[in-house]
Chain A
């Protein structure tokens, strides 16, 4: 089983819609998580950290479900500029290295 798994999508949504997707992780001892955003042909950039039960930053909400070992990202009022691949990242508790999911692609259409 992969350490971090994501639905690759793509999620195609109209502007203004809400889109949500999950990321599952295999190590129940994992404590820290990130969502990174990667635009086409660009480097990943930190979107938000998820250290406790969840986090909210403007239109973006990340939630952590420890019992089921997944984190989710919800984007409200989608903008065209939200089109990107969203990478789920889990810090491995044994060595603090980062494990990356393969990414979920979101396309927001006008």
Chain B
């Protein structure tokens, strides 16, 4: 059974703190993604990775960085948390299809981050 796990379901941090969100998948997927989900805005892509040590910016990368040292693990880092980064963070993974690109994305349960 497909499984994507995230390190925390709920997290409360203070402004200026460094925050690490961890994501692990057990499906040997090449692609991993970090999204944030806010009411009325849907899911927005922050960063993604097509391979180990490879990362690319998504649509809203400002204020975030990522790390992918192992195929199964993709970390999202908030260098200095701010209140506007309060959100639901969702990690996803997928395999790649030769002609249509990334295949179905499987999501983790999400981390609800509150920055005070």
Interface residues of A (CB under 8 A from B): 4, 8, 31-32, 34, 42-46, 49, 51, 87, 91, 96-98, 100-103
Contacts and interface: CB of A to CB of B under 8 A. Distances in A.
Contacts of A42: 109-110
Given A46-B104, A91-B100, A4 B40 contact: no
26 contacts: A4-B42, A8-B40, A31-B100, A32-B100, A42-B109, A42-B110, A43-B90, A43-B108, A43-B110, A44-B107, A46-B104, A46-B105, A46-B106, A87-B42, A87-B43, A91-B101, A91-B102, A96-B100, A98-B102, A98-B105, A100-B35, A100-B42, A100-B43, A101-B42, A102-B40, A103-B42
Contact of A102 (B41, B45, B58, B102): B41
Given A32-B100, A91-B100, A98-B105, 5 more contacts: A43-B109, A46-B105, A51-B100, A96-B100, A96-B102
Interface of B: 35, 40-45, 48, 58, 90, 100-102, 104-110
A65 to B, nearest CB: 20
Contacts of A43: 90, 107-110
Contacts of A49: 104
A37 to B, nearest CB: 11
Complex A-B, nearest 10 residue pairs according to Cβ-Cβ distance, in ascending order: A96-B101, A43-B107, A102-B42, A100-B43, A100-B42, A46-B104, A44-B107, A96-B102, A43-B109, A102-B40
Contacts of B45: 97-98
B18 to A, nearest CB: 25
A101 B58 CA distance: 16
